[in-house]
Amino acid sequence: MNEAVVCGSAPASAPVVREPLHAPVAHLVRGDVIEGIHYGSVVVLTADGSVALQIGDIEAAFYPRSALKPVQAVAMLRAGLPLDGELLSLAAASHSGEERHLAGTRRILELAGVTEDHLRNVPDLPFDPVVRDAWVREGRLPSRPAQNCSGKHAAMLYTAKLNGWSLDDYPDPGHPLQQAITETVEDLTGQRISQVTVDGCGAPLFSVSLHGLARAAARITTAAPGTPEARVADAMREHAEMASGSGRDVAALMRAVPGLLTKDGFEGVQLAALPDGRATAVKIADGADRARIPVAAAALARAGVDPAALAEFAGEPVLGGAKAVGSIRPVRALDLLIP
Quote the pLDDT of residue 5. Answer: 43
- Rounded distance between C-alpha atoms, residue 286 and residue 242, angstroms: 28
- What is the per-residue pLDDT for 210? 98
| Confidence band, pLDDT 50/70/90 cuts, at residue 221 | very high
**Rounded to whole angstroms, how far apart are CA atoms 268 and 282?**
8
- The pLDDT value recorded for residue 8 is 53
Q: What are 2-61's pLDDT values in tens digits?
A: 334 444 578 899 999 999 999 999 999 999 999 999 999 999 999 999 999 999 999 999
* Average pLDDT score over residue span 80-88: 98
Identity of residue 313: F
Q: How confident is the model at residue 97 (pLDDT cuts 50, 70, 90)?
A: very high
pLDDT of residue 309: 95
Higher pLDDT, 137 or 326: 137
- pLDDT score, position 4: 41
| DSSP 3-state percent helix, strand, coil across the chain (nearest 5) | 40, 20, 40
Q: In the prediction, which pLDDT does 318 show?
A: 87
CA distance 195 to 192: 9
Of 8-12, 27-31, 204-208, 236-240, the one with minimum mean pLDDT is: 8-12
Strands 279-284 and 269-273: antiparallel
pTM above 0.85, yes or no: yes
